[in-house]
Amino acid sequence: MSLEPITPENALELYLADRENSVTQATIYSHRSRLGHFIRWCNEEEIENPNKLSGRQLHEFRIWRRVEGDLAPATEKTQMDTSLHQVARIYR
């Protein structure tokens, strides 16, 4: 069984709607903010169906986020741990 195509934006909204009843609004805000960077990267890379992302592409996202965000190492780790965990949950 293969996943039906979904846009990054639609996947984000489905994910947030699913989480809305089990987390605080502050957590929803945080997830939207962190995943917003992923959505922006997908748009810049013209990724229309993130179901097909490879490990290499996720690594490219991590590097892009590091350069784009000018993040301290600890901040980068926190953001990426959260973001990549959520990305895996959305697209699997």
Residues 25-58 have pLDDT tens digits of 999 998 898 888 889 999 999 999 888 888 899 8
Neighbouring residues of 36: CB distance < 8 A, sequence distance ≥ 6: 12
How many beta carbons lie within 10 A of that of residue 81, not counting itself? Answer: 11
Q: Which tokens belong to 53?
A: 């992302």
Instruction: Indicate the Cα dihedral angle 66, 88, 24, 74, nearest 10°.
Output: -30
Taking the C-alpha atoms of residue 54 and residue 57, their distance in angstroms, rounded to an integer, is: 5
Which pTM was predicted? 0.81
